[in-house]
Structure 1
Amino acid sequence: MSNNTGLDIWFAGAFAAFTVDLLVYPLDTLKTRLQSQHFETLYKDAAGKTKPSLFRGLYQGVGSIILITIPSSGAFFTTYEALKFSINEAIPPNSTIFLPQPAVHAVASGGAELVSCAVLTPAEVMKQNAQMLSSRGKRRSTSLEVFRHFQKHPSRLWRGYTALAARNLPFTGLQFPAFEYLKGYFLKRRMDRNGGKPIDGIGERAVITATSAAIAGSGAAWITTPIDVIKTRIMLAAGSGDDGLKSEPKPKSPSLLQAGIQGSRKSGLVVAREVLNVEGFRGLFRGALLRAGWTTIGSGLYLGCYESGRHYLEKNRREAREGDHLMQRDWSNVKVGIGGSRSHDVVKKSAWQDD
């Protein structure tokens, strides 16, 4: 494990999440709208052309997700690093038990994801419903409007936990082993070119980390797109009034808060079957290219910022220790309480000792 403290890791993860959310959030909004069951009716005209409304309000709901993603990401990386260290420590080097490092990374990332999803689910539900609200008219805050809608039934905010975990577990299980392998491979190649010297430059490590994360993340995102489509449908349905609960009056403009899948308590398998029946196999991969693209950018920035932030804090901590000259001083030649001191040569007897 590195010399980082748990607080270092938490701050690095939170900083990475904040940076990435601000930069790639519009692409996430487009992905949500593409995967929505109501994409054709809300964002296509009679001629089949895309309406301009698809590209309006791309930052709707960003407030709620940033507030929750910061502690969620901090919890993920703190748990991930702790589990990775604990598993490696539990298996001695000469033990007969052999656990490949990709398996260690998969288990550690899976456990961290379960913790993270518990924190993130309510914000994810609010975010995706806010992304689907019409941007027309005067709205002070789409996040606040969605929050007011869920005030009467707050339990709906956790309705997508299973779907979110079902998407994120295979995603992280695929991404992190590939990411750790690629990062180690690129770092080793770079060290070999430098004559075996370690890579201490923060910028250089960030580039290597970002490249590894982008490659690993894009592949994992493409493979797990069907689960992401199902997760999106379930979370959007959590904002509907079609589950037997009393719904709000329907506004003039279409809104996903009043238009979800019929029966928002349906399981993921039922939703998947309905998508296949209505839209075919291509429906499960709707938005796959966009998702892979923004995950390439997002994962690269996310893990690149996390790694550079973690090493920056670690480097500052190490330099602070090395700069403590008092602790670095060689005390081996200093004699304490042995032999005469200079004071013995210059101090004379007192008057009462002359007798």
Structure 2
Amino acid sequence: MASNTNTDIWIAGAFAAFSVDLLVYPLDTIKTRIQSPDYKKLYTQDGRASRALFRGLYQGVGSIILVTLPSAGAFFTTYEALKYTLNDAVPPNSTLFMPQPVINAVSSGGAELVSCAILTPAEVIKQNAQIAKKDVKGVSPTMQVLKEFRRHPFRLWSGYTALAGRNLPFTAMQFPVFEHLKQYFMERRRKQKGGKVDGIFERASITAMSAGIAGSGAAWITTPIDVIKTRMMLAAGRERHQAHESKDLGKFLTEGLASKSSKGMWETAKEVAQTDGIRGFFRGAALRGVWTALGSGLYLGVYEGGRFYLEDSRKAKEGDAVMEKERDWSKVKVGIGGSRSQGDAVRKSGWQDEAD
């Protein structure tokens, strides 16, 4: 593990999330619209994709960027901390054996549970804003969605179970493969360059390639859960009055989230199967695979490059400070000492004669 501080990891993770959101958000919007139950009615014409599918591709981006920054920082901080703790608690020669892929999977899973708790409300707002029609009065889609949830804000967390249900298997598959590929490509590059990988850009490129390969496969496999999650979050925006809603946050989290969300996932899955068949569970799978390959590559590549840059910058500053502190000027002799050209007899300078 690189010697990064928690601040380094948080900043690098947040910057990576911000960069990726801006670049790949339009693909995420198209994916959400393809997976929505109203796709054929709203975004197709004569069996083909209509122009409406490609309009307003950045609708809802503001909410997700604001919450993604702390969410991504929390994910990477938790992931690195858990991975370091487990590696330290289970040394290679210990009687308690835990393979490295298992450590990576457990660490990423714990990090996802923390991240999803922060991200869920923004994800619900984002996905409902992505399919919202622009108001004639000039009200933004995000504000329209916020107005819908104003009376029932607890519904913003109704998709937590579905989001965690998608992200946990995704990261459990992606991160072990990602770490293995990164190590493989790093070792291969070291052999090609005589035992060393130089430069932040080279490290970031290897990380991005490894993350893209691992992410695309995991994305395709978890697409059915992603479809269910999208349908549930869009349904939360359409259902304005639900009898089970409560103003008691504690009761909602302990009862509503545990039982109602699980039932909602099962009911949503049955609805998808009845209306679209098995193919409906893989709607947008190809686009999601491409989007995730690009997004994961940029995400983890920028994160890796960012944390190594911050580490190198901090080490450079610390090195300069140590050198300045350890330098003992009292031992520096000016004008006194042996010289090959002068022999052993060296005269003192004029200012030293005056001092004596």
Instruction: Give the TM-score normalised by structure 2.
Output: 0.85
Shift of 1:93: 3.1
1:103 aligns with 102
Q: Superposition pairs for residues 99-138 of structure 1, below 5 Å? A: 99-135=98-134, 137-138=136-137
Q: Does 1:29 align with 2:29?
A: yes
1:317 aligns with 314
Q: Secondary structure at the match of 1:139?
A: coil
Q: Measure the CA separation in 2 of the matches of 1:233 and 1:42.
A: 15
Asked whether the 8 Å contact 2:24–2:291 carries over to 1, the reply is yes
Which of 272, 296, 303 matches 2:300?
Answer: 303
Identity value in percent: 62
Distance 1:238 1:91, change over 3 A: same
Q: Superposition pairs for residues 222-261 of structure 1, below 5 Å? A: 222-241=220-239, 244=242
Q: Superposition pairs for residues 36-55 of structure 1, below 5 Å? A: 36-45=36-45, 47-55=46-54
* Code of the aligned partner of 1:229: V
* Code of the aligned partner of 1:290: L
Q: Superposition pairs for residues 1-355 of structure 1, below 5 Å? A: 1-45=1-45, 47-135=46-134, 137-197=136-196, 199-241=197-239, 244=242, 266-324=263-321, 325-327=323-325, 329=327
Moved more, 263-272 or 171-180: 263-272
Shift of 1:265: 8.7
Shift of 1:22: 0.4
Shift of 1:329: 4.1
Asked whether the 8 Å contact 1:60–1:131 carries over to 2, the reply is yes
* Code of the aligned partner of 2:19: T
Asked whether the 8 Å contact 1:33–1:54 carries over to 2, the reply is yes
Q: Measure the CA separation in 2 of the matches of 1:74 and 1:328.
A: 36
The number of aligned residues is: 320
* Code of the aligned partner of 1:315: D
Q: Secondary structure at the match of 1:283?
A: helix
* Code of the aligned partner of 1:8: D
Give ranges in structure 1 of 5+ residues lacking alignment: 247-262, 335-345, 349-355
Asked whether the 8 Å contact 1:243–1:264 carries over to 2, the reply is no
* CA distances 1:300-346 after superposition (whole Å, capped 9, x unpaired): 00000000000000011111122232345489x89xxxxxxxxxxx9
Moved more, 20-29 or 317-326: 317-326
* CA distances 1:66-106 after superposition (whole Å, capped 9, x unpaired): 00000000000000000000001111332111111110000
Instruction: Give the TM-score normalised by structure 1.
Output: 0.85
Shift of 1:50: 2.0
User: What RMSD, in angstroms, separates the aligned Cα atoms of the two structures?
Assistant: 2.3
1:254 aligns with none
Distance 1:265 1:209, change over 3 A: closer
Q: Measure the CA separation in 2 of the matches of 1:305 and 1:33.
A: 28
Q: Secondary structure at the match of 2:102?
A: helix
Shift of 1:127: 0.2
Asked whether the 8 Å contact 2:14–2:73 carries over to 1, the reply is yes
Distance 1:282 1:329, change over 3 A: same
Q: Measure the CA separation in 1 of the matches of 2:141 and 2:243.
A: 22
Asked whether the 8 Å contact 1:121–1:158 carries over to 2, the reply is yes
Q: Measure the CA separation in 1 of the matches of 2:50 and 2:355.
A: 98
Q: Secondary structure at the match of 1:238?
A: helix
* Code of the aligned partner of 1:237: A
Q: Measure the CA separation in 2 of the matches of 1:136 and 1:43.
A: 18
Q: Secondary structure at the match of 2:238?
A: coil
Asked whether the 8 Å contact 2:74–2:115 carries over to 1, the reply is yes
Asked whether the 8 Å contact 2:158–2:261 carries over to 1, the reply is no
Q: Secondary structure at the match of 1:200?
A: coil
Q: Measure the CA separation in 2 of the matches of 1:76 and 1:91.
A: 22
Distance 1:322 1:56, change over 3 A: same
2:340 aligns with none
